């Protein structure tokens, strides 16, 4: 497929997008990224993503001055790749640029590398509908998970382990508390109250998480931004995750333990209903939300 990408000022076929081995993204993980979902040409939460991107760039001390042009670039790339009527992901990566390898920052004349890519990103219907199993592992990541950096080796290792165990995600546990998963935020439900880890240096401030919190406020579900203790996980009625790709996805099994009766619960279903109606419109009606909600 001849997908076009954007690299440092130019649109080009991906096969012609060359990164230098001296790119600090390649040898130092010296970069940050965002993934934005486009629903038939319409970006979800573009502004929220930009705000977070600015925070990540600031956290990584990468100077990038073209923030205001990104929306136009992303829209243009979606158009060029004829994804305006599709569900698509737009991947944006920014690194500290190309310079002979040394730990310290290159001088300020070195421009950041800017890379944008698009790909088809359909909803994970089966997982959304029936929920997923997750595994639980120690959170061995660094202590600035609020920066959306490309330092994803632990996420990669743990997600691979999850898949090998027949699971769809891995919950991370830090100091006894469930933080987040390899690429999604986590919510737990007990007696109709939702619990989620507060924004901190140990979790990414998720854009879909933010959307879920807005939905809860609107439809009157109480949310407590308190972390859940891993050893008390069996006391919760429901779990679900949120993310740009996973959207709002029920979790029905933690390791070998089913959550309640092993079916997506009513609070999760209500939030899914709101989220999917808002993002997919009437198409979501065909997914039998009413049946799901019961």
Q: Which residues bind a second copy (CB under 8 A)?
A: 5, 7, 14, 17-31, 33, 60-61, 91, 93, 96, 100-101, 103-105, 115, 117, 119, 138, 140-144, 149-157, 159-160, 163, 182-183
148 catalytic? Reply is: yes
CB of 78 to a second copy, least distance (A): 17
What letter would DSSP give residue 281? G
How is residue 104 written in tokens? Answer: 């310290």
CB of 222 to a second copy, least distance (A): 32
DSSP assignment letter at 73: H
Alpha carbon of residue 128 to chain centroid: 15
Distance from the first to the final alpha carbon of the chain: 42
Q: How far is the CB of 17 from a second copy (least distance, A)?
A: 5
Nearer to a second copy, 199 or 237 (CB): 199
Q: Which of 37, 133, 148, 209 is catalytic?
A: 148
Would you tell me how many other CB atoms lie within 10 Å of the CB of residue 242? 25
Are 74 and 90 a contacting pair, CB within 8 Å? yes
Q: SS3 for 8? A: coil
Count of residues in the chain: 294
- Closest to a second copy by CB, 62 or 128: 62
DSSP state of 13: E
CB nearer to a second copy: give 41 or 106: 106
Tell me the C-alpha distance between 241 and 134, whole Å: 10
CB 34 within 8 A of CB 112: no
> Cβ 154 to a second copy, closest distance in Å?
6
For a second copy, the closer of residues 99 and 275 by Cβ is 99
Instruction: Please identify every residue annotated as catalytic.
Output: 148
């Amino acid at each position: 497929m001849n997908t076009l990408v954007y690299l440092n000022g130019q649109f080009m076929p991906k096969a012609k997008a060359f990164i230098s081995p001296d790119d600090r993204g390649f040898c130092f993980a010296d970069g940050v990224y965002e993934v934005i979902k486009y629903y038939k040409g319409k970006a979800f939460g573009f502004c929220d993503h930009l705000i977070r991107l600015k925070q990540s760039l600031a956290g990584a001390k990468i100077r990038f001055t073209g923030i205001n042009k990104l929306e136009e670039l992303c829209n243009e790339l979606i158009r060029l790749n004829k994804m305006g009527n599709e569900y698509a992901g737009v991947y944006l990566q920014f690194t500290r640029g190309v310079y002979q390898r040394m730990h310290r920052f290159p001088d300020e004349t070195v421009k950041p590398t800017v890379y944008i890519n698009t790909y088809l990103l359909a909803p994970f219907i089966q997982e959304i509908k029936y929920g997923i199993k997750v595994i639980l592992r120690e959170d061995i990541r660094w202590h600035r998970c609020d920066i959306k950096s490309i330092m994803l080796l632990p996420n990669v290792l743990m997600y691979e382990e999850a898949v090998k165990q027949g699971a769809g995600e891995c919950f991370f546990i830090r100091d006894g508390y469930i933080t987040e998963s390899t690429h999604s935020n986590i919510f737990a439900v007990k007696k109709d109250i939702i619990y989620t880890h507060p924004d901190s240096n140990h979790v990414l401030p998720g854009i879909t998480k933010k959307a879920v919190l807005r939905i809860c406020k609107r439809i009157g579900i109480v949310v407590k931004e308190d972390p859940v203790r891993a050893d008390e996980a069996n006391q919760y009625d429901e779990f679900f995750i949120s993310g740009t790709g996973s959207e709002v996805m029920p979790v029905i099994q933690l390791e070998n333990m089913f959550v309640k009766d092993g079916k997506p619960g009513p609070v999760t279903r209500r939030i899914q209903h709101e989220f999917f109606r808002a993002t997919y419109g009437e198409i979501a009606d065909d997914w039998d939300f009413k049946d799901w909600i019961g």
